[in-house]
Structure 1
C-alpha cells in the first residue's frame, strides 16, 4: 500500500456500511480520500473521527444517479485534491419490490444507481487517470448476487443490476487493454454483509435471519488486499462470504 500514500481515492456511497469502512481503511493507510455521498453530513462526521489518521477524508455531496453531480464532484476533486488514482464504486441500492407486480419507478432507481451511476463515475475517473498519466486502480463493489441469484423474496432487479456490474468490469478490462492503459479493474463480490442496505430498502430482516453475515470491515480488507498487489498483478475477482452461508 506504500505506493498509494498521499494519492487520491474516490469512494462512492461513503456515508455508511461498506463505503464508510473503506474510506476509514484508506485514510488510515495514508490516502487522501474523497467520500462521495448523498448524506454529506455523515461523511463529515466520519472525517472528524479520522482527524488523527495518516491520511485525510473529505466529504463531497454527490448522488451517483445524477450525472451533473458526479461531474461536479470530480471537478471539485481535481481543483482541491489532485488527480484520481483510485476509484471504489460502492454506491448501490435495493428496493423492496417484485417483478410480477412491481413498482417500475423503484426498478429504475436501482438500475440507474447500480448500473448507470457506476458507468458515469468510472468514465470520469478514467478521464482523470488518462489526463494525468496515472496507473490507477478501479474497484467495483459487486455482490455474490452478481454471479448467481439467491432465493430471497423481493430482491427483484437487484441481482440483474449486479450481474451487469460483473459484465461491466470485464468489458472495461477489455477496453483498458485495447487502449494500452495501465489501469487495474477489480470486482469485489461480498455475500450478505451487516450494513444498513436491507433496512433502508424496507426489506424484512426475517428474510435474512438464517444467513450468516460478514462485516463491512471484512470487505474493506478485501479492498486493501486488491490495492496492495504489485503493479503487474491483476486481481479480477474477489468473493467474500461468511462460513456457513448457503444462500
Structure 2
C-alpha cells in the first residue's frame, strides 16, 4: 500500500452509526386493497416500522385510490404505486427517485409467495438500497428445487456484495470530500477495496434458513430478492387475485393491456 493511500486512510473520519430498536407487537395492521379484479387483504409487519407507518399514511390519505398496477410479470410479481398512473399524476414527483425511505432488511422476512415489498432503484444509483416511498410489489413467484435455491443463494450473495461495495465507495468519496481531501477515483477505489476486504473477511455469506427453503419449495416465491429489497408485509386473503392479476396479458413494458386499478383502500384493523 503506497504512502498516499495510507495518508488518506489516516485522514478519513469514521462515520457515526446510529442504531434504533423498535418494540414489536402482535397487533398487526391489516389493509384492504379493493382492485378492479378483486380484493386483496394485507398484513403489515411491525418489524419494519418505517415502511409500515409510511404505507398506513398513504392508505389513510387515499393516495393509492386510482393508481394502476403498471408492471406485471407472471411467475414473478405485480407492482403498483407509481403516482404517474394516477389521473392527477402531474401533481406527484417520481416516487422511485424523489420520495424514498431507508431500507429495513430483516432475515426473518422474505420473498415467499404473497410477500409485500417495496420497489426501488438499482444499486448503481441507489447504493443504500432505499425503498420507493409509494411503489410496492406483491410476490407471485414459483416453486424451487433445493438445487435452484443453492443457485439463488449465490446470486443473493453476489447482489449483497455488489451493493455493499457501491455503498463503501460512496461513503469513502463523501467522507473525503467532507474532510476537504482531494483524491482520484483510483485512490477512492483502493481505499474502498481495503474496507471491502475487511467486510468480506468478517461477514459470513447469506444463507437461506430452513423456514425459507421450506416455503420456497412448497408455496414458492422469489428468493433472489432476499436481503436487497425490503419485505414489509404479506397477503393474508386474496392470493387468487394476485394470481389473476399476474396472468393478465401485458405489453413489451410489462404493463397490462387492460388497466388494473386500485379502486379503494382502507385500514381494516389496527
TM-score (norm 1): 0.29
TM-score (norm 2): 0.27
Structure having the higher helix fraction is 1
Which of structures 1 and 2 has the bigger CA Rg?
Answer: 2
